[in-house]
Amino acid sequence: MAFPKKKLQGLVAATITPMTENGEINFSVIGQYVDYLVKEQGVKNIFGKSTLGMSLHVSSSVFRRYILPGYQLDQVIIHVGALSLKESQELAQHAAEIGADGIAVIAPFFLKPWTKDILINFLKEVAAAAPALPFYYYHIPALTGVKIRAEELLDGILDKIPTFQGLKFSDTDLLDFGQCVDQNRQQQFAFLFGVDEQLLSALVMGATGAVGSTYNYLGKKTNQMLEAFEQKDFSLALNYQSCFLIYFSRLGFGVSQTKAIMTLVSGIPMGPPRLPLQKASREFTDSAEAKLKSLDFLSFTDLKDGNLEVGS
Ligand SMILES: CC(=O)N[C@@H]([C@@H](O)[C@H](O)[C@H](O)CO)[C@@H](O)CC(=O)C(=O)O
C-alpha cells in the first residue's frame, strides 16, 4: 500500500504528558510544549501515548491537541497498544479520526502471545482497524515481556499487514536491530531506534531515525550528532554521544526524572506523574539543576575538541 505521507525519519520525541499538580492533564501548556520542541529542539515529529507519556494512563483524546493546524509538526504518531484487542482497535480508529499520521502498537503484555504468528495476528487486527494509517510495531521486550525477536517478526510482515511502515526498536540487542535493517532493505521501512544512549551505534547499523525521551531536551544536540554522522565526522558524533552517556545517564531517565529535567530545561511545567509513579524528589530536582548549570547545558562548550570536561 502506498501512503501519501513522507517517510518518518529523523528525531521523534516521545511525548511527556504535562499535568497539573493534582494530576489532571495540563492542556494549557501543550501549545507551548510543541512550540518548544519545534523551535528550540528542532524536533518535528512526536510519538504520543508513549511509555514516557504514561501511555495506559492517558486518554488518546489528549492528542487531538497536538494535531491542531499551525503547530508545524511534521508527523504525529499515536501509540494505541492497550490491554485488549478491542480497546487497541478503538484507539486505532480514534487516532485515524483525529488525524494522526500513523499508529504504533506494542505486543500485548498481560496475556502474552508466545509465537510470532500469534503476535502478527494480533497486530494485523489492530492495523486493520485503521487501514489508511501507516502502522509501526513498537518493540520493547523489557517492558512487555514478549521476547520474540523483531527480525523474526518482520519476515514477510507486509503479506500480513500491508500498512506496515516501520519498527520502533526499544531494545539494546543491536544484532537483532541490524538484522531487521539488513533483511528488509528493499522495503523502505522506517527503522527507528529507541535506546537514546546507543543511537550512534544504531546509526552505524542502519537506523533511519530515533524515537526517545531525551529528544525532548537534547533534540538540538542529537540533531547535531546526526549531522556529524551524515558528514562522516565520526569523532564529533562520538563526542556528542559520549557527552550524553557521561553526563545525562547519571541523572536518570524515568518518567518522573524526565518531567523534572524537561521542566528545568524548557521552563514549561510538566507536573507530577500519576500513581503509582512518584514525583521526582526535591533532592533529585536540586541536584539535576546544579548538574545542568555546571554542564553549561545549553552550549556544551568545547565539544568540537573532544573536551568532555565541561564543568564537571
Ligand atoms: C524504556 C524507555 O522509556 N525508553 C525510552 C528511551 O528514550 C529512554 O528513555 C532513553 O533511552 C533513556 O534511557 C524510549 O524508547 C521509550 C519511548 O520512546 C516511549 O516513551 O514510548
Q: In the chain, at which residue ranges do the beta strands (DSSP E only) sit?
A: 10-14, 45-48, 75-79, 102-106, 135-139, 164-169, 190-193, 209-212
pLDDT over threshold 60, residue 139? yes
pLDDT digits (tens, 9 = 90+) for 211-247: 999 999 999 989 999 999 999 999 999 988 987 766 6
pLDDT over threshold 70, residue 298? no
CATH code assigned at 186: 3.20.20.70
- What integer pLDDT is reported at residue 299 of this predicted model? 53
pLDDT over threshold 60, residue 76? yes
Question: ipTM more than 0.90?
Answer: yes
User: Annotation-wise, does 146 bind a ligand?
Assistant: no
Q: Does the residue 203 lie in any domain? A: yes
| Ligand 1 touching residue 171 (CB < 6 A) | no
- What integer pLDDT is reported at residue 311 of this predicted model? 35
Q: Does the residue 260 lie in any domain? A: no
Q: Name the residue of 15, 55, 213 to mutate for ligand 1: max ligand atoms within 8 A of Cβ.
A: 213
| Ligand 1 touching residue 256 (CB < 6 A) | no
Distance 259 CA to ligand 1 centre (A): 13
pLDDT band at 304 (very low <50, low <70, confident <90, very high): very low
Distance 303 CA to ligand 1 centre (A): 25
Model's pTM, two decimal places? Answer: 0.92
Q: Does the residue 159 lie in any domain? A: yes
Q: How far apart are CA 217 and CA 119, in angstroms?
A: 34
pLDDT over threshold 50, residue 305? no
Which entry of 36, 44, 66, 168 is annotated as an active-site residue?
A: 168
Q: Does the residue 172 lie in any domain? A: yes
Q: How many domains does the chain have?
A: 1
- What integer pLDDT is reported at residue 296 of this predicted model? 60
- What integer pLDDT is reported at residue 51 of this predicted model? 82
| 211 against 68, higher pLDDT | 211
Which residue segment(s) compose the domain that 213 sits in? 8-241
Q: Does the residue 194 lie in any domain? A: yes
Q: Does the residue 271 lie in any domain? A: no
| Ligand 1 touching residue 198 (CB < 6 A) | no
pLDDT digits (tens, 9 = 90+) for 112-127: 999 999 999 999 999 9
